[in-house]
């Protein structure tokens, strides 16, 4: 920019000098031309005076006309000379004015050109600065260094002395100062005071706001010695989030005033820096928070499951290297759901935070507490054996038990925790088994009455392996469902009055890839535990109804009993599904009898009542399985109405040898007959038992003696039923 200005000034001087010389020559000619003009005028006046005198002396002589003629010509000559001299004067004036106007116009044009070139240079430099402003993860995370690089380019456009960035967060003011040289302490003190006062004023902060100052030096120019007359240009940083207000600005000392264009360019760069600094600060803060919450639980401030998994791997490696042991405690708050349901989630959240504090108070430096779920906490005790872990678990349990928690309304309540304990390497050297072991130990503490601790050692290794085998079997069952390898087998149910087949019950069988069949008793509980019961029900129902349709076309009109899991009475749409299948396969709903275990039916009487009402409206039948095994059978017989009850086979099997079982079955049969419910005796395994149940008035019988479950609905032989 300086080179361009110097070149333009040289051109200006050359042209101005030449035009000035031309104007000077014009002026000199004008001055010189005046003397001959005056001389001619004077001489001409003298001649005319002499002629007039001659004319007076001549009188009426013959020479008079000639003299008069000369006088007339002289008058005409005077008038012509006046015209000539006036025109010459006018041309001189015009030429002088033209040269002056040309000089002024050239000067103005050159000034505009210089301004344009300066603006273009400013804009080009501005563009180069802006091109360097690229947001990246590195620039955002190290935004102060990023600002430093921008300022170096910015300084090339505008040689300022100081730059500052301020952020008001919470109740503090963070001030970052950038000096463009090694200033003396006195100058730095002046700069700090000046810029801090400016920021506090612009952000409307109290004068006693605490300051956190960070300073950087960028050596570029010769330092100033006095900044009392420094000027400031500031711009506010928009609030990107609550409690994050800021200011950005430059301070400079200069003997010349900035032009409007220069100040505009400076403010435009500052505006971009405002955006960059504000966004970088907000993003940096957000990244820091994300980094924090990637390792911490946002409610309690404890470490989270992700960090626990990482630190567990690290601790295993460290303990292997140094031959150390460590223990893990898994805490699950007892009946914590009741707190949320009774007093609300805010009270529950407050209690969880107090539990976190209780954990911190009972741990040593180096131990780690984590919240890994809703009301589950894990504590990793470094270099701590089983005995030490049991002691810590006892202390934590007592602290929680003795602590009084308060609701928002001022009521008090107490909590307890069940704690599982696992110790490395004694219980396992494998992460999976350690986690599984502490889970099993915690649930054993729950089952033993809660508010206590239990170790994996007390469980024994078989429990961990059994749990792993159960999990593996659940995955095998899931694959079997996907591959349609869980099939219905059909066991006949006969009418005790005529020994004719009344119905078939569809029983699930798992077919292994090698063709081995596995009975439902080996996997049904696992199915329900891992929420596979619904898939099992639909697979059996779909296959059984299609087979039932073929049997009906062949003339067999027996009923079909189908087992349902407890999940299906929760409004999962099983009735609509079966109803649609019945329509597609032309099966009357009255041919289908749904069968549910007694323990499942009585676990949720409210939903059971709705389910039975909907079932009857659609025309399906219902049977209660394992009747008599419940502790309150009479209550739900009064509350619910069933079409069939299947008397628990453990009673039927022993009626020939146990007076108690005989009396129970007899009375259950009589009770059902009195209230209009038909009965089915299960586990009929010989002729004598069949005869006994017939004598009791039981309506139907089922068991291995009647017929074994088979792949098809075969009629039992007459020999089998006597």
Give, in order, the Cα–Cα distances in Å from 322 to each of 66, 325, 422: 148, 9, 19
Take residue 636 and report the two structure tokens written for it. Answer: 């739900």
Apex CA 54: angle with CA 52 and CA 56, to 5°? 70
* Nearest Cα to Cα of residue 628 among 600, 653, 664, 654: 664
Q: Is 464 exposed, middle or buried (0-12, 13-18, 19+ CB in 10 A)?
A: buried
Cα separation, 631 vs 627, in Å, equals 10
**Helix 345-361 to helix 336-343 angle, to the nearest 10 degrees?**
140
Q: Is 545 exposed, middle or buried (0-12, 13-18, 19+ CB in 10 A)?
A: buried
User: How many other CB atoms are there within 10 angstroms of residue 218's CB atom?
Assistant: 15
DSSP string, 632-649: THHHHHHH---SEEEE-H
Query: Which residue do the tokens 């730095």 mark?
Result: 188
Virtual torsion, Cα 637, 639, 640, 646, nearest 10 deg: -20
Whether 501 contacts 445, CB under 8 Å? no
Q: Is the dihedral of CA 497, 500, 503, 507 positive or negative?
A: positive
Cα separation, 620 vs 582, in Å, equals 11
Helices (H), 59-211: 64-131, 137-141, 143-157, 185-202
Look at phi and psi of residue 679 and say left if phi exceeds 0, alpha if psi is from -120 to 50, else beta. Answer: beta
**Strand, helix or coil at 488?**
strand
Whether 71 contacts 52, CB under 8 Å? yes
Instruction: For residue 593, list its beta bridge partners.
Output: 561, 621
Whether 236 contacts 274, CB under 8 Å? yes
- Read off φ and ψ for residue 38, nearest 5 degrees: -65, -40
CA 530, distance to chain mean position in Å, is 30
- Read off φ and ψ for residue 128, nearest 5 degrees: -65, -35
User: How many other CB atoms are there within 10 angstroms of residue 627's CB atom?
Assistant: 26
DSSP 512: -
Query: Which residue do the tokens 């003299």 mark?
Result: 67
Take residue 203 and report the two structure tokens written for it. Answer: 């952000």
Q: Is the dihedral of CA 365, 367, 373, 374 positive or negative?
A: negative
Cα separation, 438 vs 330, in Å, equals 6
DSSP 659: H
**Strand, helix or coil at 64?**
helix
Residues assigned a catalytic role: 375
Whether 667 contacts 644, CB under 8 Å? no
Sequence-distant (≥ 6) Cβ neighbours of residue 257 within 8 angstroms: none
Sequence-distant (≥ 6) Cβ neighbours of residue 259 within 8 angstroms: none
Whether 295 contacts 307, CB under 8 Å? yes
Whether 673 contacts 706, CB under 8 Å? no
**Strand, helix or coil at 138?**
helix
């Amino acid at each position: 920019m300086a080179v361009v200005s110097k070149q333009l000034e040289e051109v200006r001087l050359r042209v101005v000098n030449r035009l000035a010389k031309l104007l000077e020559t014009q002026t000199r000619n004008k001055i010189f031309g005046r003397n001959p003009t005056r001389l001619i005028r004077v001489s001409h006046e003298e001649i005319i005076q002499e002629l007039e005198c001659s004319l007076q002396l001549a009188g009426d002589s013959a020479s008079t006309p000639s003299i008069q003629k000369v006088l007339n010509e002289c008058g005409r000559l005077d008038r012509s000379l006046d015209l000539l001299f006036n025109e010459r004067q006018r041309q001189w004036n015009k030429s002088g004015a033209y040269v002056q106007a040309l000089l002024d116009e050239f000067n103005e044009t050159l000034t505009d050109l210089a301004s344009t070139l300066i603006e273009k240079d400013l804009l080009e430099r501005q563009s180069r600065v802006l091109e360097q402003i690229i947001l990246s993860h590195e620039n955002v995370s190290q935004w102060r260094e990023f600002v430093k690089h921008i300022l170096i380019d910015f300084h090339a456009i505008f040689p300022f002395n100081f730059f500052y960035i301020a952020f008001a967060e919470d109740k503090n003011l963070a001030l970052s100062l950038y000096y463009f040289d090694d200033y003396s302490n006195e100058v730095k003190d002046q700069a700090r005071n000046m810029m801090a006062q400016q920021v506090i004023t612009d952000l409307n902060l109290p004068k006693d706001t605490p300051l956190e100052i960070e300073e950087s030096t960028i050596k570029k120019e010769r330092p100033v010695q006095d900044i009392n007359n420094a000027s400031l240009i500031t711009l506010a940083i928009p609030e990107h989030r609550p409690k994050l207000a800021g200011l950005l600005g430059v301070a400079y000392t200069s003997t010349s005033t900035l032009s409007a264009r220069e100040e505009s360019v400076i403010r435009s760069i500052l505006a971009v820096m405002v955006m960059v600094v504000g966004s970088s600060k907000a993003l940096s803060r957000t990244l820091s928070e994300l980094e924090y919450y990637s390792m911490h639980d946002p409610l309690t401030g404890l470490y989270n499951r992700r960090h626990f998994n990482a630190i567990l791997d690290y601790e295993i490696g460290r303990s292997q290297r140094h031959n150390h042991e460590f223990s893990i405690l898994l805490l699950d708050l007892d009946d914590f759901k009741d707190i949320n349901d009774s007093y609300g989630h805010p009270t529950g959240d407050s209690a969880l935070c107090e539990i976190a504090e209780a954990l911190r108070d009972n741990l040593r430096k180096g131990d780690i507490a984590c919240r890994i779920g809703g009301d589950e906490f894990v504590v990793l005790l470094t270099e701590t054996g089983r005995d030490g872990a049991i002691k810590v678990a006892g202390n934590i349990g007592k602290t929680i038990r003795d602590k009084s928690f308060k609701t928002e309304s001022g009521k008090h309540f107490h909590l307890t925790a069940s704690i599982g304990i696992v110790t490395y390497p004694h219980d396992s050297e494998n992460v999976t088994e350690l986690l599984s072991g502490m889970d099993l130990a915690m649930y054993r503490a729950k089952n033993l009455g809660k508010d206590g601790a239990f170790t994996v050692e007390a469980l024994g290794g078989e429990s961990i392996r059994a749990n792993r085998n159960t999990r593996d079997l659940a995955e095998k069952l899931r694959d079997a469902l996907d591959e349609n390898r869980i099939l219905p087998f059909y066991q006949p149910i006969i009418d005790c009055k005529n020994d004719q087949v009344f119905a078939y019950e569809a029983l699930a069988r798992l077919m292994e890839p090698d063709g081995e069949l596995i009975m439902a008793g080996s996997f049904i509980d696992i199915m329900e535990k891992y929420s596979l019961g619904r898939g099992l029900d639909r697979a059996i129902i779909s296959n059984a109804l299609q087979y039932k349709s073929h049997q009906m076309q062949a003339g067999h009109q027996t009923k079909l009993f189908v087992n349902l899991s407890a999940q299906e009475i929760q409004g999962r749409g099983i009735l609509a599904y079966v109803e649609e299948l019945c329509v597609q396969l032309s099966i009357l709903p009255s041919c289908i009898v749904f069968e549910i275990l007694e323990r499942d039916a009585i676990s949720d009487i409210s939903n059971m009542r709705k389910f039975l009402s909907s079932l009857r409206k659609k025309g399906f039948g219902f049977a209660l399985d394992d009747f008599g095994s419940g502790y309150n059978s009479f209550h739900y017989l009064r509350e619910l109405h069933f079409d069939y009850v299947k008397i628990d086979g453990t009673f039927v099997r022993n009626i020939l040898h146990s007076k108690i079982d005989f009396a129970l079955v007899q009375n259950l049969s009589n009770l059902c007959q009195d209230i209009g419910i038909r009965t089915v005796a299960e586990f009929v395994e010989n002729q004598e038992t069949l005869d006994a149940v017939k004598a009791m008035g039981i309506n139907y019988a089922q068991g291995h003696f009647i017929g074994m479950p088979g792949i098809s609905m075969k009629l039992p032989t007459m020999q089998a039923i006597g």
